[in-house]
């Protein structure tokens, strides 16, 4: 049966392929009966997985982040207790031995029973602990299946595969990078969530916020995904399929043509040069940056080096990664952001520390709370400045006190390198991200103390409008054109330009053609976006005359009616 679902458009492009479902909770397992002679082995397999999971907890305990020792320890203790509960550690063993079933099945049956017990509690806190039971069982199950992380399923190369998931974290998605999927779809997530950002970096069509897609779609269903419109067609009729095949080849042709702009200088019609930089997550992304003709890296989200691993990257490993980017860009500017961990990018074991992670210990707050981690990164970053044109960007600063503390950390890292006679660029520029409304409103102190600014519109919009950027339920309220957002942008860009402090936008707004002219009109001259978007934004720049858009931009900034703003924007873009 053919049906259509509507979600949130994340990455444009059309994909046609067969559904490959990945399990959100891996507790969907097969049941099979084993010959008696293998039962001993099966019990041993269960015991080994149990031991490995216990060791995993022990490892997490010894590597726990110092900032939240109490909560983290309590969380680990609870999970260890659940793991040691006879219902999970003993009963499955007995069931394997008595019923000759596979270990996964025995674990699933007893997990379900334990979850059901927790579900009967009237106390809300106890009731909620069923989630912990599921998480512990999932960890144990992954050990059993030999997949300690959230491993990507193998892509099938004979047909185009579209990955269908209930939810994917940015850490999950980044693991899919080397694999070629035609597209991704998820039930949850918003357009500026970090999962969406990684999907764009993969340059793969993606629709999120589809609510029940994971339940409604069956393995190997034929899917058409229109990333531009956020539409998914399941088991399309022949004429629809033919129409989308045509649209797909037209779209690909258009993209190819745009790539011819790779070496063109991004000048407006009246001759102003606009810097078009790229955002990356890993050193390997440089190839795409160059292929698309970006003239620098405007945002290297260094925190991705910290994800999907049980340990943390040390100074040498980080230094090598930053140096690779610095050298790879051959003298073009490279802006590396200090790690923005927390919220939807958690290192292993820290995932449940905060109740409201977007407002919690995230980005610079976490850096300042974890001095050792921060020092290590700063030394690695400073060392890399010797190998290229590197500048350091600090996320989520809210005001003078955090700026001062950050600068003190940087000064101390410089002193330690001086003491050891290690080279670095003594003129290295330090910048701050403007992504909290308080920072935008108290801009003076940022302009005075920092060398450059970069506006993170994804967070600036999230925090201005109080919209969780990862929550599809409120995604319709996430509005870059809200007058409050536009006023903050105009204020930050205007004030920075007046005081001669370089300012860029590195949030997703910078990569959306709908906003290019508006941002140019407001005075922005530096954009940073996911690499594949550079050519189309360049095309926009090449067809824009700054004097011609000035009047309409001012009218948009003065308007307060959303309909009127959209109407004027359409005029600006026509």
Cβ burial of 388 (10 Å; 0-12, 13-18, 19+) is: buried
Stretch that binds ligand PEP, among 209-217, 321-329, 375-383, 450-458 (CB under 6 A): 450-458
Residue 108 binds which of Mg ion, ligand PEP, none (CB < 5-8 A, kind-dependent): none
CB of 190 to ligand PEP, least distance (A): 11
C-alpha–C-alpha distance, residues 501 and 251, integer Å: 39
Residue 18: CB atoms within 10 A of its CB come to: 16
Residue placing its CB nearer to ligand PEP in the complex, 17 or 456: 456
Residue placing its CB nearer to Mg ion in the complex, 134 or 194: 194
* CA angle at 237 for the pair 231 and 239, rounded to the nearest 5°: 95
* Edge-to-edge strand ranges of the sheet holding 231-234: 3-6, 231-234, 222-226, 14-21, 161-165, 183-186, 206-208, 8-11
Active site residues: 194, 506
Binding residue (CB under 6 A) for ligand PEP from 110, 134, 143, 301: 301
Binding mask 471-510 for ligand PEP (x = CB under 6 A): -----------------------------------xx---
CB of 460 to Mg ion, least distance (A): 8
C-alpha–C-alpha distance, residues 312 and 305, integer Å: 8
Distances (CA, A) of 460 to 320, 375, 391, 480, 521: 32, 27, 22, 9, 19
Binding mask 453-472 for ligand PEP (x = CB under 6 A): ---xxxx-------------
Q: Which of residues 151-170 bind ligand PEP (CB under 6 A)?
A: none
Residue 226 binds which of Mg ion, ligand PEP, none (CB < 5-8 A, kind-dependent): none
In the chain, the N- to C-terminal Cα span, in Å, equals: 40
Nearest to 322 by CA among 336, 308, 304: 336
Residues that bind ligand PEP (rule: CB under 6 A) add up to a total of 11
CB of 346 to ligand PEP, least distance (A): 14
Residue placing its CB nearer to Mg ion in the complex, 201 or 456: 456
Q: What is the DSSP letter of 345?
A: B
Residue placing its CB nearer to ligand PEP in the complex, 102 or 338: 338
Binding residue (CB under 6 A) for ligand PEP from 187, 435, 472, 512: 435
Cβ burial of 153 (10 Å; 0-12, 13-18, 19+) is: middle
Residue placing its CB nearer to ligand PEP in the complex, 92 or 296: 296
Residue 432 binds which of Mg ion, ligand PEP, none (CB < 5-8 A, kind-dependent): none
The answer to the question of residue 512 lying near ligand PEP (CB under 6 A) is: no
CB of 347 to ligand PEP, least distance (A): 15
Nearest to 65 by CA among 410, 305, 369: 369
CB of 487 to Mg ion, least distance (A): 19
Residues that bind Mg ion (rule: CB under 5 A) add up to a total of 3
Residue placing its CB nearer to ligand PEP in the complex, 56 or 303: 303
Residue placing its CB nearer to ligand PEP in the complex, 226 or 303: 303
Residue 348: CB atoms within 10 A of its CB come to: 19
The dihedral sign for the CA sequence 443, 497, 491, 198: negative
Residue placing its CB nearer to ligand PEP in the complex, 236 or 507: 507
Stretch that binds Mg ion, among 285-293, 296-304, 370-378, 429-437 (CB under 5 A): 429-437
Structure tokens at 14: 């059309």
CB of 363 to Mg ion, least distance (A): 7
Q: Which of residues 331-350 bind ligand PEP (CB under 6 A)?
A: 340
Nearest to 131 by CA among 152, 155, 151, 114: 114
CB of 459 to Mg ion, least distance (A): 4
Binding mask 432-461 for Mg ion (x = CB under 5 A): ---x--------------------x--x--
C-beta of residue 204 within 8 angstroms of C-beta of residue 161: no
Structure tokens at 400: 């003078």
Residue 555: CB atoms within 10 A of its CB come to: 14
Residue 472 binds which of ligand PEP, Mg ion, none (CB < 5-8 A, kind-dependent): none
- Phi, psi of 301, deg, nearest 5: -80, 85
CB of 29 to Mg ion, least distance (A): 38
| Sequence-ordered strand ranges (E) for 239-358 | 275-280, 297-301, 333-337
DSSP strand pairing (14-21 vs 222-226): antiparallel
Residue 457 binds which of ligand PEP, Mg ion, none (CB < 5-8 A, kind-dependent): ligand PEP
- For binding to Mg ion (CB under 5 A), which residues are involved? 435, 456, 459
**What residue ranges bind ligand PEP (CB under 6 A)?**
197, 299, 301, 340, 435, 456-459, 506-507
């Amino acid at each position: 049966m053919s049906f259509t679902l509507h979600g949130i458009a994340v990455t444009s492009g059309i994909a046609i392929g067969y559904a490959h479902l990945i399990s959100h909770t891996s507790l969907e397992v097969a049941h099979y009966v084993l010959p008696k002679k293998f039962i001993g082995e099966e019990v041993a397999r269960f015991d080994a997985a149990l031991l490995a999971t216990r060791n995993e907890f022990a490892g997490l305990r010894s590597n726990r982040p110092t900032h939240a020792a109490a909560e983290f320890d309590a969380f680990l203790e609870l999970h260890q207790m659940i793991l040691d509960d006879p219902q999970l550690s003993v009963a499955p063993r007995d069931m394997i031995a008595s019923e000759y079933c596979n270990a996964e099945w025995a674990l699933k049956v007893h997990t379900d029973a334990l979850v059901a017990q927790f579900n009967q509690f009237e106390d809300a806190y106890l009731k909620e602990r069923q989630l912990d039971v599921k998480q512990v069982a999932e960890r144990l199950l992954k050990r059993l299946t030999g997949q300690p992380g959230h491993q990507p399923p193998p892509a099938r190369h004979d047909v185009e595969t579209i990955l269908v998931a209930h939810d994917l974290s940015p850490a999950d998605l980044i693991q899919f990078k080397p694999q070629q999927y035609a597209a991704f779809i998820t039930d949850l997530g918003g357009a500026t969530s970090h999962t969406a950002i990684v999907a764009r970096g993969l340059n793969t069509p993606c629709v999120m916020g589809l609510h029940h897609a994971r339940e409604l779609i069956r393995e190997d269903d034929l899917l058409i995904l229109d990333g531009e419109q956020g539409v998914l067609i399941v088991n399309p009729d022949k004429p629809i399929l033919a129409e989308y095949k045509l649209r797909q080849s037209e779209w690909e042709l258009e993209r190819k043509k745009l790539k011819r702009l790779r070496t063109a200088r991004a000048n407006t019609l009246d001759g102003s040069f606009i810097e078009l930089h790229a955002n990356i997550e890993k050193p390997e992304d440089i190839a795409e940056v160059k292929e698309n003709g970006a003239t620098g890296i405007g945002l290297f989200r260094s925190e991705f080096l910290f994800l999907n691993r049980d340990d943390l990257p040390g100074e040498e490993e980080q230094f090598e990664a930053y140096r690779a980017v610095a050298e790879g860009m051959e003298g073009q500017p490279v802006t590396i952001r200090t790690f923005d961990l927390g919220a939807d990018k958690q290192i292993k074991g820290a995932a449940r520390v905060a109740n409201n992670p977007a407002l919690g210990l995230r980005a610079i707050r976490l850096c300042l709370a974890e001095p050792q981690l921060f020092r290590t990164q700063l030394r690695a970053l400073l060392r890399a400045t010797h190998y290229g044109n590197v500048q350091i960007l600090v996320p989520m600063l809210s005001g003078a006190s955090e700026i001062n503390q950050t600068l003190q950390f940087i000064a101390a890292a410089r002193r330690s390198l001086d003491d050891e006679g290690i080279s670095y660029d003594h003129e290295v520029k330090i910048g701050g991200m403007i992504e909290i409304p308080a920072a935008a409103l108290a801009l003076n102190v940022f302009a005075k103390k920092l060398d450059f600014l970069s506006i993170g519109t994804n967070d600036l919009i999230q925090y201005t409008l109080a919209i969780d950027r990862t929550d599809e339920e409120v995604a319709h309220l996430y509005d870059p054109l809200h007058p409050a957002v536009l006023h903050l942008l105009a204020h930050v860009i205007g004030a920075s330009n007046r005081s001669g402090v370089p300012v860029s936008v590195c949030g997703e707004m910078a990569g959306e053609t709908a906003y290019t002219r508006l941002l140019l009109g407001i005075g922005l001259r530096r954009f940073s976006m996911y690499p594949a978007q550079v050519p189309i934004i360049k095309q926009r720049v090449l067809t824009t005359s700054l004097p011609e858009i000035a009047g309409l931009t001012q009218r948009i900034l003065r308007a307060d009616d959303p309909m009127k703003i959209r109407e004027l924007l359409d005029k600006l873009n026509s």
